[in-house]
Structure 1
Amino acid sequence: MRVYLDNAATTPIDPEVVETMIPYLQDGFGNPSSTHYYGRQAKAAIETSRRTVAKIINCLPSEIIFTSGGTEADNMAINIAVKELGCKTIITSPIEHHAVGHTVENICEEKNIEFKLVKFDEKGHVDLAHLEELLANAQGPAFVSLMHGNNEVGNLLPLKKVSEMCRRHGAYFHSDTVQTMSHYKFDMQELDIDFITCAAHKFHGPKGIGFLYIKKDIKIGNLIFGGGQERGFRGGTENLYGIVGLAKAMEIADRHLEQHQIHVQALKSYMIEQLQNRFEDIKFHGDVTPEKSLYTVLNVCFPNTEKSNMLLFTLDLKGIACSGGSACSSGSVNASHVLQGIKADISRPNARFSFSRFTTKEEIDYALEVLVEVFEHNLKSTPVA
């Protein structure tokens, strides 16, 4: 049996999305910048997709710039803040995705920008009082970059509260929403955020496509020079079939959002309950409270045993795909910067299990059976079925 529990890394593409993309891989091959029939057909598909995305998150189509994914979108937002908006202070956290963390470190050093890190509470949530303090003492204008849902431990940021705080202090606010886009409802009129990011492959769309939302009040110049695509902001021939696939994936997710949330949260809650019932000394990194945590992510801290040293390898041999942290950091010899950032116990083996709407209870049960084999000496004497 093969079980895929690494959906925070990437999700399987929805067959309906593939069907929607196929015509643009075969017959709809025109360059969207061409003025003949084939070009107009391609351009129309892009703009229809842009309108679909805008409607789902309640913004203007002109506020959506298609990118190659979340990393490019995050990089763009940070560079706009410094180079276009003149921000003198950047406030972020030590547990951001490297697309934000490394970009901020680099640009702050290069441009001599003040760099501040916000603290966390005991559960790993952003300390909002400390954020307020940092904003009050920042050299303006300030730029805040804090992710909505952490990709390793799943903690959620209260976007509206942080947005209101940033507005009070005249700061710009960017949130990496790669893990939460199309898993939660977004209303950009209500949230009042300056930048958010998206990667389609996190919600059953194709890889290599995403978008950056830029609030209409923000005026920017060319981000990538070239043929003037994306209204002159991002040169380069558009990823036509990727854009069409992204819009379709968002449309499907939006149509069934509540149903998917209930299904996936039930699987996560079931796995938490079963792990607690079966194992001695089990812990969970981050906050697993449903209202404060991504329903798609569960980071588990297991007991130390002889077999646990090869935990991920053993699970893989048994057909279970999961992660020890962010897949973007695979191959790193260092411990997870997220777990270190929230002062989690990194002396013990941990695994990130992440779920999707295609995950089944039977797959969770199989994963639990394998985990029982790995940690056989750490089972409770009377495990609850």
Structure 2
Amino acid sequence: MVDTTTKWNVRLFVVCLAALSVSLPIAWISLAKVLLFVLGLVYLITSHWTRHRDTALQRLWTTYAVLGSMVVFAFSLLWTDADMESALYSLVKHAKLMGILLVVYFVRTVHEARMGLLFYAGGQGFLLLSSWLLFVGIPVPWVADTATGNVVFSTYLDQSIMLAAAAAVFWHLRQDGLWPRWLGAAAALLALANALLLLEGRTGYLVALTTLTMGLVWAMPRRFRLVTLVVSPLVVLMGLLLVSAQVQERVTKIVSESVNYSKSQQVAAEDSSGWRLNAWRRSLQAIDAKPFNGHGVGAWTPAVKQFEDSKTATRLFGEGNHSNPHQEYLLWGVELGVGGLILLVALMACMARDALRFPDNIQRATLSVLAAMAVACLFNSTLYDDWIGDFFCISLGLLLAAGVRSTPHTSLP
């Protein structure tokens, strides 16, 4: 049997690797995820044999929401419209949600949670610094393709969303002694500026506005918070439109593409907004066709293709069955019916409910990252997609672990 010291080191190593990996190339994320899931299974089995019981997962509503979601997705294999290969492929992609629970399970103390958050922040800081170095023209040897602008490892969409969400962690945990306050504030501002000014991800703009607005709301006295919630995003957005030609161009493109699609109901080449609007419309038609049990896991593509002619369906959604609507809520709705939409909202509500029992700084960081994820899910299949989905699962897992280990048992459900 593995001794306690070795088990502790392995657990902490896997948590820190997972925390660091979401800032690195996809190969690192895949390696960390395999270790997290395989060793998680090993530890669950050995804990059962040794009758070791840790109640952290039992005290989180998130645990039951994640497990319930995975059970429903697995049961939908019985009626899925997709071929079994596509269905299992999608089930595995949805199963990354289990990473949230495994991180919480692997973290046993406040110290371990803080170590994981330090590696997470270090990785995001490395990503942030690399992007700014590219911006000022300093060569970065670990970036193979400098033609991608200021993007380091992933895409402008992933990087803008990640840094906008990480800004909340830098800002709200600056008072917990994990890093100097000035460093947390500087990193948060640089991360938001990176997402808003250096990159062109339109979803990243909205996520950055979300985390910035929530930070401003909590900084205000209670009597001014509602006004701040309404006014601050409008003021920031208007300011960006005045000073940033890139933001002006991206917002104008959204409007023009949306108007063109509403008039013609046709998706032009390189028309991302029109593609989304068409995919969302087809998704609603697919939900209407099977509102109660949905089309089953992995069946989004065949479900929406039936509303297009074969040539158009192939052009828009590809040859196989691995496309998605770039909207997480509709993806769950098509695969699981209206109940799937409710299930996803309930999952987020359970995470928020858990966060409300945490100390203030961890609570605010968790709610901010959760809000960032909820907004990103409106315009992308955020949890389903690789990289950005892993980022949010590991981020929330670390914050939930830090919160549950920092809170007395009596104050948790």
Name the one with the larger helix percent: 2
Instruction: Say whether the fold is shared (TM-score over 0.5).
Output: no
Structure ranking higher in strand proportion: 1
